[in-house]
Structure 1
């Protein structure tokens, strides 16, 4: 029986490694962070890190965009 490979990605906040399907995929476009559903350079954040306090998210996400504090809103609204 053939085993299939499951892609593993790293959360940019906690540096934990998870299966790709367990992470949220974002990208930076013109200084704004948007939910990425297509093929483009992107970064991943796990569910636990999204639930963290805003102060803990600011430092790792400063190089990606200005509106990093709105990640929960971006996920709910599905902007992307």
Structure 2
């Protein structure tokens, strides 16, 4: 089973990396980009065979290690 975790900063948290990308895009001539939010994608290969159990396990991983839940939000996709 495979899991994909998308981690993004929560709304309202400043994103200096996203702002740097937005500025660089403008410098390169890509006008009209008002905002950029940058995050990360984590892909996991799991031995689990039950989708619900796998999702619960990956959410526990996010809460303990993969996401800083004070400032980040995450979504989990199992396939």
TM-score, structure 2 as length reference: 0.27
Larger radius of gyration: 2
**Taking structure 1 as the reference length, what is the TM-score of the superposition?**
0.27
Decide which structure has greater helix share. Answer: 2
